[in-house]
Each structure stands twice: as structure tokens, then as C-alpha cells.
Amino acid sequence: MKIAVRRTGGFAGLTTRWAVDVAQPELRDVWMPLIDSCPWDDVPDDANQPDRYVYSIIAGEHQVTLPERQVTGPWRALVDRTRDAARAGDLGEAGRSGPEPAVDRDDDVLEPERPVTEPSRRATEPGQRLFPAPQDGPGEDGR
Amino acid sequence: MHCSFVPPYLLRRLALLEDRSFLPVAEAAQRALGRDALIRRRRNVSCARMAELPGTLASTGPGAAGLHPTRQINDAQHQERLPGVRVRTEGEAEVQDPAVNEAYDGLGHTFELYAQAYGRNSLDGAGEILRATVHYGEDYDNAFWNGTRMVFGDGDGRIFQRFTKSLSVVGHELTHGVMQHTANLVYQGQPGALNESVSDVFAALVEQHRLGQTAEEADWLIGAGLFTDEVNGTALRSMKAPGTAYDDDVIGKDPQPATMAGYVDTRSDNGGVHLNSGIPNHAFYRLAVQLGGKAWERAGQIWYDTITGTLLSPDSGFAAFAEATAAAAESRYGKESEELKAVTAAWTEVGVLE
């Protein structure tokens, strides 16, 4: 199954993609429980905050576009896992990077576009969790 | 002192005053009418008006026009939880952390532009506290406005350095706060690209005001100094020449169009708000260099009048915005003014007006 994340927007307006193609038994044992825990059909129509990211996520037949502040809980876990696996694939350790911008099937492709996979300049090692557990959310400022 | 007894019809009449000697009153009335209930609830017309009368403007310092910022800087300590720990408040001395001091100073410089050039008292025109959080997340390559505060990441160190390093980022994010209290353009498609562009316009003006630069002297770059040395680029965006800010083998080439011929239809990035903003950005640049001198004075005033006026709606597109800027120029400078001619010419050059 092809699983891909495309992150657009942000102050810089840069696009970044992470994609993996996952085979059994890893798909059944590791990925499907996570994919099934995401509320694909229950996405609130929530306006984005200025300069925050927009995430397009695809997993098999599932597809969704979310503002950054909705990417919490299982969504965040899926995004982080996809990114980490794609980066690991770049090093030939596990999984592999998707050769195509899979998330673009229902979107307009921007030209020129960033590379399909993560830039080679690395600050962290594959598999390392890059972000803390999601704690952000509406009312985050207590106001 | 409460001024809620001033009836809306009177505010409307005051807002329409064209005699320039009444302009501060008209502006205060326009803002008092506001677009959202928040402004109507908060604004104290007479207080704002007294603070904004010409002649009370000091020449330098955040306290110009008798207005003083109230700043609060918090540290998210690399978590994604807001607001974080308070680390510096108004009047407190510099701290060790450069990100904190950059945010504090940037808030002050942005407050100064709005206070000195336009007599505006903070984001809401009524002295709202300026709030910022630094060190958000880990390797976070972004800065944003969450509706009540600016939030800055430290960058990943490979592509981006910390986002407080550029004053234009601070000016940009705070202007999203001003926008929220004025025209409140929706963050999607053309109104979203205008929302973005207005933030870039006043970000550039904050820097130029700080440096005392004319339109000719300014670099018209947004986010200069954010890239690491590894990236082949000078900034994130160029208002002077959209599409030329960077050209790098890893992050690609600056995709911004300068004219409608390059308009991008996309669903990414809230409908390309950071892409198509290049078009109104370039229109403002053309206007500023055509008028010459300090861009915040006439070009900036026209844009400020536009977002605080009554002609825009939250879903206004490029053409409606262009027409509103022309109306603002005519209202302030006259039907035969060089300002109105330059506004019309600028929008024509980028293909928005014919």
C-alpha cells in the first residue's frame, strides 16, 4: 500500500513530501492499526490559521486534507511514521521512498516542485521521533 | 470613559468625511465601525481619536503618538504547547536568549510603524498586548499567527535558521493580527493571497521604517537571512522581483508569479496563498517606486486606508482589492492625483486591472 504525506504552506510556502510503499506483513502488523484509527470520514471544516501548514495524507483508498492544528493524535502518529519511514528508505535501511507524488492525484501539481523525497541535509537519524507528542489544539492559548 | 453612546449612523458620517483636516476623525470612525463585533465591543472612539491626532506624534521610539506597546514573550521550550513560559515582559531588560530579544525588539519596531505612520494603537487599535512565543517545537521550520500570538520555530539548521532572525517575519505575523481586526480577508484563494500580501507589504514597511529607507534603497525582500549558508537564496520572497528569491537544488526555485499571466490555480497551501501573493506584492512595489520616497508614507497609507476602510469584504478578490485601493487613493489624494494614477498603473502592470 502506498502511503504519502504532502505538506504545503507555512510562512515559506515550501512543499515537502514523504512517501512509502508498505508490504505485508508490516502493513498488517504496524500500519493498518494506525491507519484504521484515523477518522478519515470525520474531518471538521476548520479554517486554517495564517502561515500554518496544510497536510494532504493518502493511504490506499483513503485521502484527506487537514490544517496543521488538526494533525494531532492518530493523524500526527501517521504523519510522523510516514516521514520517518521515508527517510529511512532514503538510506536503504527499511521501507522505501515513493517514486511518485502520490498525493497529487486529486490535486494540481505545482511547477516547479520540490523533490519527491526529503532533502538530503539531515539533522536527525532515521526512526528518531522528530516532534514531541501532540499537545497543541484549539484554545491552546487559554483564551 | 466609554463612548458606546456614539450612534453608528454618526460614526458612518464621520467615516465618510473627505476634508483632510478631519481625516484622523474619519479614520477613527471607520475603525470604530469595524467589521467584526470584537472591534465594536472594544473600541473607545474618543480615546483612540485623541491618541491619533496629528501633532501628538513623537519622532522616534515605540512610544510615538503617545502610544506604548505592551509586549509579552514566552518560551515554548521546544514543545508544541502554547503559550509556554513567560520569559520577558514590557520594560524588562534584555535576556541571554537572542530569540527572545529579537522577538521583543521586532514587536516594538512593528508597533512603531503602525503607531507613527498610521496612529494605530497595536493590533486592534485599542492597545492589545503583543504576544509572542519562541522555540516552538523541534526543528520547526515555520512561524505563524494563531489568532492571539505570534509563534516562532527555531528552524532545522539545515535549511532554516531561527525565524526571529528576520524583522520582516515579525512584521508579517503581527500584520495578520491587524488584518484579523480590520478587513479580515479569509485565508483561502485570492482573499487569502491578499491577506498574505498585506502581511508582506507591512513587513517590508516595518523594515524600511526601521532603517529609514526610501523605496529605491530598500531590498523589498521578505525573510532575508533565514536560510542557512547551504541554501542558494537570499530570502523567501521578493516583492521587487517575485520568483527570484531563491533557486536551490534542494528546495527548488522560488515559484511566485509577479503578474496574472503566472497566476497559479492550486488547492495546496490554502489555494496558493503564499504563491499568488506575489502579484499584489509586486503591484505594491510598482506603486511605491513610482511614487518614490518613503513607501510607508503614501503607498503604505493607501494600503492602510484600504484594509481599515469599508469597501472590502472578507471574500474580496484581487480586482475588488485593486478597486478599493484606487478608491482609497482618490479619497485621500484626489481624483486627479498622481497617487491615484500610480495605483491604477501598478495594478494594470501586474494584469489585475485592464
- The answer to whether residue A96 is domain-embedded is yes
Same domain? B208 vs B341 = yes
- The answer to whether residue B1 is domain-embedded is no
- The answer to whether residue B354 is domain-embedded is no
Same domain? B128 vs B175 = yes
pLDDT tens track, chain A, 143 positions: 999 999 999 999 999 999 999 999 999 999 999 999 999 998 887 778 999 999 999 999 999 999 999 999 999 999 999 999 998 876 543 333 332 332 333 343 333 333 333 443 333 333 333 333 334 444 444 34
pLDDT band per the 50, 70, 90 thresholds, residue B118: very high
- Name B197's Cβ contacts closer than 8 Å, sequence gap at least 6: B277, B279, B280, B281, B284
Which domain range does residue A95 map to? 2-106
- The answer to whether residue A34 is domain-embedded is yes
pLDDT at B322: 98
Is B173 labeled as catalytic in the residue annotation?
yes
Same domain? B150 vs B195 = no
Same domain? B200 vs B331 = yes
Closest CA to B296 of B87, B57, B113: B113
Single out the catalytic residue among B274, B282, B323, B339: B274
Cβ within 8 Å, pair A136-B147: no
Give B98-111 pLDDT, tens digit per residue. Answer: 999 999 999 999 99
Cβ within 8 Å, pair B146-A10: no
Confidence check on the interface: ipTM exceeds 0.90, yes or no: no
Contacts of A105 in chain B (CB under 8 A): none
Q: What is the CATH number of the domain that holds B303?
A: 1.10.390.10
- The answer to whether residue A131 is domain-embedded is no
- The answer to whether residue A136 is domain-embedded is no
**What are the cell numbers at B329?**
487613493
Domain count of chain A? 1
Same domain? B288 vs B209 = yes
Which domain range does residue B123 map to? 57-181
Q: Count CB neighbours of B229 within 10 A.
A: 6
Cβ within 8 Å, pair A135-B80: yes
Which residue in B has a C-alpha nearest to residue A13's C-alpha?
B274
- The answer to whether residue B330 is domain-embedded is yes
C-alpha distances in angstroms, B100 versus B1, B105, B141, B210, B297?
Answer: 35, 9, 17, 19, 30
Same domain? B198 vs B69 = no
- The answer to whether residue B305 is domain-embedded is yes
Cβ within 8 Å, pair B176-A50: yes
Q: Which of residues 269-288 of B touch A (CB under 8 A)?
A: 269-270, 272-275
Domain count of chain B? 3
pLDDT band per the 50, 70, 90 thresholds, residue B319: very high
Chain B contact for A140 (CB, 8 A cutoff): yes
Q: What is the dihedral of CA B104, B270, B285, B178, to 10 degrees?
A: -40
Is B323 labeled as catalytic in the residue annotation?
no
Size of interface A-B (CB pairs under 8 A): 143
pLDDT at A66: 94
CA distance A25 to chain B (A): 32
- Residue A119 has phi, psi (to 5 degrees) of -55, 155
Chain B contact for A130 (CB, 8 A cutoff): yes
* Helix, strand or coil, per DSSP, at residue B191: helix
Cβ within 8 Å, pair B186-A123: no
Contacts of A132 in chain B (CB under 8 A): 78-80, 137-138
**What are the cell numbers at B106?**
521586532
Chain A contact for B223 (CB, 8 A cutoff): yes
Which residue in A has a C-alpha nearest to residue B235's C-alpha?
A12
Chain A contact for B263 (CB, 8 A cutoff): no
Strand partners, A20: A3, A97
Contacts of B146 in chain A (CB under 8 A): 49, 52, 140-141
Domain termination residue (choose one: B181, B205, B226): B181
Chain A contact for B38 (CB, 8 A cutoff): no
Q: What is d(CA B218, CA B296) in angstroms, rounded to the nearest whole number? A: 12
